[in-house]
Structure 1
């Protein structure tokens, strides 16, 4: 697996947390979008698995775990996130539409996807950092109590 080859194992906990949050939120938002009629998936390979389930649990999380790892500074994270969100919104999404794997409603525009992905990357990063800071704080408290 390519991800395992390039992941910084010293940051594995925080990267896994970031990726899992991406998975959970992607799946949740995908279900909400379907329920609200913002998009649909005309071609279902398996009735029990949403068609973009693989993208929600692999492509988005792995992409953003790499960005989180390799672009830690604010400016580089911004550029990488904007670039990848643009790629997903204006290239990958239209390809899925052309293969009839994804059909947005008349109300959903590509730039909405860009905005959602862009802000999600920052929200998930903020949550991940807050969680990591809490873990670090708890470990320090634990070490102090042991002394």
Structure 2
């Protein structure tokens, strides 16, 4: 196989991905939209973020959102790898995407992590990570499986448990960074009054 043939095969693969997206969208709008579990998937996308918006610690919003963003990105990468290798699947999809679950990975998991980090901050993060992973892996995923929002193939809940522990601890560490300070203006952006004060000091 030469370089041009490789480009051609990748192009064909991308076309199949576009076709798969179209098939998922067709199923959503012709079948799933008439079933309650599709509306449950939509609810699970919106409700956790509404809950967090109401109960969030407003003074720590940026730190918490950084943790959530990490979990969402990390989960999206894991989903892509897992689905492409036949480890798990999401039969009922809220949004046409063969490789992502917006309901669980991009909503429930990040919001649950933020709420645990926020409440009782003096409790050991290791204990919280075990609680987070246990509830998510051994309660959340089986419940999702019961309503066809998740399907375990060549995978085990225990694998998810240890991954979720690691993911939570990294997210917690991000919230503890001390670099959350306002971006200071450059020397050319300083306030005019400050320039006048400095000139007067130099004149003296």
* TM-score, structure 2 normalization: 0.58
| Alignment equivalent of 2:132, drawn from 64, 72, 84 | 84
TM-score (norm 1): 0.78
Q: Which residue of 2 aligns with 1:3?
A: 52
Q: Would you say how many aligned residue pairs link Structure 1 and Structure 2?
A: 139
Change (3 A) 1:110 1:86: same
Flag the structure with more relative contact order, 1 or 2, with Cα contacts below 8 A and sequence separation at least 6: 1
Partner residue, 1:135: 180
Residue by residue, what CA displacement relative to the aligned partner does 1:59-112 show, whole Å, maximum 9, x if unpaired? 11111011111142362x222221121111112211222233322223x11111
CA distance 1:2–1:109, change in 2 (3 Å): same
Name stretches of at least 5 consecutive residues in structure 1 with no aligned partner.
none
CA RMSD of aligned residues (A): 2.6
Q: Does 1:42 align with 2:91?
A: yes
Q: Which ranges of 4 or more aligned residues in structure 1 deviate by more than 6 Å?
A: none
Q: Which has more radius of gyration?
A: 2
CA distance in 1, matches of 2:56, 2:94: 31
**Unpaired segments of 5 or more residues in structure 2?**
1-49, 195-204
Tell me if the contact between 2:57 and 2:118 (Cα under 8 Å) persists in the aligned partners: yes
